[in-house]
A and B are shown apart, each in its own frame.
Chain A
Amino acid sequence: MLQIEAHPITLQYDLFDCIQCGKCTGGCPMAMKTRLNPRSIILRLLTAGDGFDLEGREELWDCTTCSTCSSRCPKKVNPMETIIGLRGAFVEKGRVHPNVKTALESTFRQGNPLTMPRDQRGAWAKDLGLKEYAEGTEFLYYVGCTPSYDPRAQKVARSLVTLLQKAGIDFGVLGNQENCCGSEVRRLGEQGLFEMMAEENTETYKGLGVKKMLTTSPHCFNVYRNDYPKNGMAVQHYTQVLAGLVEEKRLEFSGKLEKTITYHDPCYLGKHNGIFDEPRAVLAAIPGATLVEMDRSRQKSLCCEGGGGRMWLEGTNPSVRLAQMRVKEALEAGAQVLATACPFCLLTLDEAVKHLNAEDRLQVLDIAELAAQAL
């Protein structure tokens, strides 16, 4: 039995506003392949009187927090946050998947959920001669855990650094001092740890007088922009910075890239924050590249199933993988390169291509890598 009080949750998340219209479940990518049904959860919370039993509701961990439900709700209810809240109840009672427990402890101790040592964080960039961030530098480049430690994702960070240097951007990094932004910690329901990290990081950035920040991952960008306490810091995703540079002609591509590319909108860039055009502007500026759009793009992009802590959770129905569906769609669209702008998408789509052994027909690359190739 895992009984919780339903009424306080209905008030905290304004669930009474819900008119049960089903738009959330209708668009939810996980509802097609698992028992996850946001609308039904809300109704069961509303009608549960005081006791609501979380026992056996594993599908709550299937949610990828892609925010399709919350972004489309006509009554501005937030089913995604409600699910995150319910995950908090699991965490409080210690009932979490072992992978999640390890990831949370690792973040607490090592400042990253990948159980990697803190003093290795800056290692990827040791030969790139990057500047330690000091007050007065225009940008803080916040690298993020996956691009710092994961070999495949490190390539993205390196490409991005090359681009920034080429465009003469004044930026610095925190190297080993950089701490996890806590985005996935909050999505996994560990609100306490997240708030502690948010305060700590904010103090660090305030101490350093950071005015502008750019991130590799849309998840870090989203958490600094929407979840952190207002600290007067202007945060941008790197595709926004690159799009600006391309437009101001401060970054030109001399090389050629004769490839048909299709762009997968990462949920935390598109659906969460409405950034659809900047990534496409960068791709369009690459000489020789032809851009094709998949049907499910922009607001209708299909989630790669990597967000919301799903990098550490298989989910209740691993037989069907959204990433594989996405790869098929890319192939159908006639693309040779599946471009994206998020380390999680990169890894999950890359794995899906390997799983469908389609490496010869389709390459998964980050926009930073494509842009760097075309320099």
Chain B
Amino acid sequence: MKTTIPVEDGDVLAAIRAFLGRLLESGALEAIYVPLEAAGGAAVPALVTDPARMAQANPLAPVMPINGARAVSALTGKKAPGRVGAVLRSCEIRALIELVKLQQATLEGLTMIGLDCPGTFEVPRYMERQGQAGGGLGDYLAAAREGRDPGSDGLTLRTACQMCLHPAADQAAIRFELFGLDPTQGIPVDIPDALAEQLGYSAASADGARQAVLEKVLAAHRAKRDGALAAVRAQMNANGGLPSLFNACIRCHNCMTACPICYCKTCLFRSASFDHKPDHYLSAAQRKGALRMLSDALLFQLTRMNHMSASCVGCGMCTSTCPSEIPVGMIFSAVGEQVQAAFGYEPGRSLEDPLPLVTFQANEWTEVGEAK
């Protein structure tokens, strides 16, 4: 049911911290995954069991060091260790749903606490401003209230967030509504009835302007997205094509480490199959006249794209971790969008939608091979 959490003198963060504390005190949850403030204004992802530590909790920090899905996957594995909560943004929740379908995580015993996500900044930029990026929390919430881009004084949101089409965390059990938030009315929160009784909340519907604000944010993001994807697709089809986009790749595999969907224990490209013998490189070079060393840089990107493009939720972590600043997230979103459309599949939408590769229809892909 919909209820509101009272906010004293406009301090939204305090209200949320209190709410999270009560979740632990009431025994509803044994532990909650939530970022904690640390020295230098950083927001460090943590698993908190002591309600007192919730005082440092800062789920509103506009930064995402890791995609929370990876943490929850490690935490739950095949079965949640106990009654655990996790404060997650929408792209983290959607990635987690994909991981559940890949048997890498489970939602049993897990309570997802979702926040409307106005967007995040790159970690280094955020750190430079000791946590005051974008004019600090106040301006950030104000931007959320009016549906503006919270970026300011030369600092912009991560491109993935600027073009994100799912800022609201619909699949979460508990949902905080920050768009169009008027702190004086309290924070509108959607809570399962049982939990609401346990915590003593009663139904109250706040007729916030959230819907309109959400529409405004989505419209802006959609425009940004269409422009950005068109640009990268043009680059892909320009001379040199897709490979040219990865000329700067230094094979550090950061993008694979940061990506929530890349769940392999040991990536194929780090396994024995790819430490080739010397004569392999020589004969390959003889065949083609010249061979990019080490030869599997491009093959790695294409294979990773092949493995996860259907499940790519567009969280942009790959772009954020790429030392060569290759727009990996943009490329994978451009390809992923087409793959997902072809299968009529939206990653993270619901557990009931089977993974495209797992389903087989007799008369699928009849036009394979013919030029579209």
> Is there a direct interface between A and B, measured as CB atoms under 8 Å apart in the complex?
no
